[in-house]
Structure 1
């Protein structure tokens, strides 16, 4: 049975206007980038005055925050669904879910992983959503066996200098209990996969005559070997 909408007519109208504002904002971002986002231009497109639009979004930063929040929530939903489908301990499934999501809406991906919007700082709730996504990757990487050979008669491979460093600087991993080797692997996944995706979506592979999907697949295979 469908849920009953308990909002008042005014609340429903407000939600509709905010959704329309965000649609126009995404169109602006697709055309000129997030740095060129203009509430006044959106108001003109919608036949509203600037002051009227500010009743729905107090300023440009609030609108950008809402777009970024929506983007992170969308990716978090995809990551959560991938884990729930039985692939939670499979970094390759995480990687392909990320690529599929990015290709479905490149401007949404580039808003949160592309060039930072000058002067913008994400609020705590947005950072929390991003941390949830990272936690899922850390879960998957922690479930993988250590990829380094142990020296003779040693119980485990030695900790590298970088692993020692990230063990002391693990704020980005929040309270996740992943060991240093899993932290290292998660960072390798995060940086290498986003590197390929960012270059692909920005068009830097155009004219190089190779399939970016195969490059991405090769990176995933190398990271999970």
Structure 2
């Protein structure tokens, strides 16, 4: 619903929720999820503790909203990168372009990226709808593997993914938005391998684990994506 069509009370509520999330993001950037404190947020916003719970009934609820927002922004970055590619571009080029888009967004927003890569706090369980958000990020990568020929080492994974799509209509529908039926197993296998390699490298980079290791993180990611492209015989 457009902001102009909201009642004054509803607009105030949305503005307050946005302010709460802005402060929470700042706390997240300063000290990770452990630094996100509802009592401190309430004080900064000018609300009592109980009043804050009218906007977010728990810290987990606030974190969930931040996770949804992060996925939405990352998916938009990946979709924008995909939109720059000419029709019929090489699949290898597409893979590199999308992987670079993820890395670029993550490096620009490290605290938000780390929030969506793993459990933000012990015991936290993400709601089911965040799966759709994650698929929105991963979906454009499926087209990188349309008609690919996986090496023997990854064929067992492709077979499992083919079986998964056949027994889970939701997976088949999602994959079908990006590739043909005959390519779904291979595309899902490729996308899962991209996800593990890409996010392994990017998570290590944004958390500072590559310092002093003598390599450029972008070069590492390019090497990983090229190796994966070779595994699937991408042009």
TM-score (norm 2): 0.80
| 1:70-107 residue CA offsets vs partner (Å, 9 max, x unmatched) | 00111111222222333685222110111111111001
| 1:177-211 residue CA offsets vs partner (Å, 9 max, x unmatched) | 44433222222211111111011111111122321
Find the aligned partners of 2:154 and 2:11 in 1 and give their Cα distance. 56
Contact 1:193 1:216 survives alignment (8 Å) = yes
Task: Structure 1 unaligned segments of length 5 or more: list them.
Answer: 149-156
Instruction: Tell me if 1:207 matches 2:209.
Output: no
Which of 1 and 2 has higher RCO (CA within 8 Å, sep 6+)?
2
Task: Structure 2 unaligned segments of length 5 or more: list them.
Answer: 176-180, 231-235
Find the aligned partners of 1:159 and 1:33 in 2 and give their Cα distance. 36
Give the secondary-structure state (helix, strand or coil) at the position aligned to 2:73.
helix
Structure 1 match to 2:75: 76
Contact 1:30 1:107 survives alignment (8 Å) = yes
Q: Which runs of 4+ in 1 moved over 6 A?
A: none
Q: Count the aligned residue pairs.
A: 214
Query: C-alpha displacement at 1:44, in angstroms?
Result: 1.8
Structure 1 match to 2:158: 163
Contact 1:114 1:198 survives alignment (8 Å) = no
Give the secondary-structure state (helix, strand or coil) at the position aligned to 2:72.
helix
Q: After superposition, where does 1:70-219 map in structure 2 within 5 Å?
A: 70-86=69-85, 90-143=94-147, 145-148=148-151, 160-169=155-164, 174-175=171-172, 176=175, 177=181, 178-219=183-224
Contact 2:164 2:171 survives alignment (8 Å) = no
Find the aligned partners of 2:16 and 2:222 in 1 and give their Cα distance. 41
Find the aligned partners of 2:153 and 2:56 in 1 and give their Cα distance. 53
Find the aligned partners of 2:126 and 2:105 in 1 and give their Cα distance. 21
